[in-house]
A = this chain, B = another copy of it.
């Protein structure tokens, strides 16, 4: 008997009808001979409605109280889902994050899970029940206050609980069929990826693929827990996110075809590019800039420093940051204008970050050459470059992003009609 953790997001439980459909699916899984633990998000727009209400009484509500308020959302969805399951004749029982043993630190609004003690969930399973756990929430170890986990929180709850329960898989139900080689709205020929490694998924999540949150993939990697991303609207197999060893085993057993070199292409248009112009080229200037940004809590992605002009002894430092942090970044640097003695500060929000991700590029030379040739052939100018072992990212004009993604998708043989190439080995 396998133990399966199933996570359903807010859009999967948006109204009573959806809740009943999800309940049916859960009961099917249980009656197929599995133990099932469910993690659920707040229904549809509940969270937004609660945030609206908070705004009406206070412009800056205390984060402890905001957490107390928002956790009412999952309390509603989990109780209703448990009722729908009971109506189908199974013993659905809802549990808050606290009752399910999701112990966190006390960073309200963005709490980190520090322990999972799912004693009550195990008891419920032993009694043949289907435990329904509230996603996104926990209880602070020191203050015993209710906390929320922040963005991607429900996925992280599901993975953490699956790891603690030693589940065989954590199924994340979403409104798409799985992970695709590119956004199907941009590249109609994009194909669903049957297997992907944690590392590739992390890189994809970091560069704008929105299927899974970074945090939940990191958690799964740490515990080597397979994640199955699949659609709540169909019974098709989705994408399995696993370790390279697990994928190799699946291939050896003939359950999977050989892994492609490149797993996907993604574009992120939510970054801004900031250039600090005419920075005196002497030691400590970069530290001053990035120290100021760190103090202001600004996350930095790509960084480029020009070779300094011999005539002026000055250089330009350019970096990218999420658009939402751009204003904070500008004022943090402007506040150090006297210390850094730069000449100008320029922001450019009309950029996109286009990325190619694939564990195979480690062992296959020539990926970079194909990458840049494809962009050049399509007349796309590259403004910044950043690479990891399994990723190449470039900054382009935002208007070029879709063209770039399509060009790369084709160049690396990922288009659906090039099937043999995609799973064939060399990929070029």
Contact A53 B80 (CB under 8 A): yes
CA A184 to CA B310, docked complex, whole Å: 92
Contact A65 B87 (CB under 8 A): no
Given the known interface contacts A69-B80, A83-B62, A94-B65, the answer about A16 and B53 at a Cβ–Cβ threshold of 8 Å is yes
Contact A56 B86 (CB under 8 A): no
- Copy number in this complex? 2
CA A409 to CA B134, docked complex, whole Å: 55
CA A19 to CA B55, docked complex, whole Å: 12
Q: Does A353 belong to the interface (CB within 8 Å)?
A: no
Interface majority SS on A: helix, strand, loop or mixed?
A: helix
Contact B80 A54 (CB under 8 A): yes
The residue from B16, B68, B80, B120 contacting A79, defined by CB atoms under 8 A apart = B68
Q: Does A76 belong to the interface (CB within 8 Å)?
A: yes
Contact A75 B72 (CB under 8 A): yes
A402 partner residues in chain B, CB cutoff 8 A: none
A146 partner residues in chain B, CB cutoff 8 A: 96
Contact flags A26-38 to B (C-beta < 8 A → 1, else 0): 0000000000000
Q: Does A259 belong to the interface (CB within 8 Å)?
A: no
Min Cβ gap A411→B in Å is 50
CA A65 to CA B75, docked complex, whole Å: 10
The residue from B19, B64, B69, B87 contacting A76, defined by CB atoms under 8 A apart = B69
Q: Which residue of B lies closest to A49 (CB)?
A: B76
A79 partner residues in chain B, CB cutoff 8 A: 54, 65-66, 68-69, 72
The residue from B69, B73, B78 contacting A68, defined by CB atoms under 8 A apart = B78
Contact B76 A94 (CB under 8 A): no
Mind listing 21 A-B residue pairs with CB under 8 Å?
A: A16-B53, A16-B56, A16-B57, A20-B57, A54-B79, A54-B80, A57-B80, A57-B83, A61-B87, A62-B82, A62-B83, A65-B83, A65-B93, A68-B75, A68-B79, A68-B82, A69-B76, A69-B83, A72-B75, A72-B79, A99-B144
